[in-house]
Amino acid sequence: MDRPIRMLRVSPRFERSFRRLPTRIQKLADSKTAWFKANAYDARLKTHALSGKLEGYYAFWVNREYRILFQFLSTNEALFIDIGTHALYR
């Protein structure tokens, strides 16, 4: 199921978290974001819906340790909420 993202917004929280990441993770996140924009459900991203207190939110893998937490605003629009380790889910 392809789902291209034409409009990508980022929250101030995402911007702060992104700036604090190591440069290599920032570069990796940038490349994964390009994949995300082409298809939010690209199998390489392991995009998944969250449950519990984060129901209605989604996440995808930057690598084994880091995730991007986001929300779909419409069919082709998303908002990046935060980026970080699994601590995002707490």
Tell me the whole-structure pTM to 2 decimals: 0.95
Q: How many beta carbons lie within 10 A of that of residue 74, not counting itself?
A: 9
In the chain, what are the domains? 7-89 (3.30.2310.20)
Q: Which of 58, 82, 67 is nearest to 5 (CA)?
A: 58
CA dist., res. 73 & res. 57, Å (int): 10
pLDDT digits (tens, 9 = 90+) for 56-90: 999 999 999 999 999 999 999 999 999 999 888 87
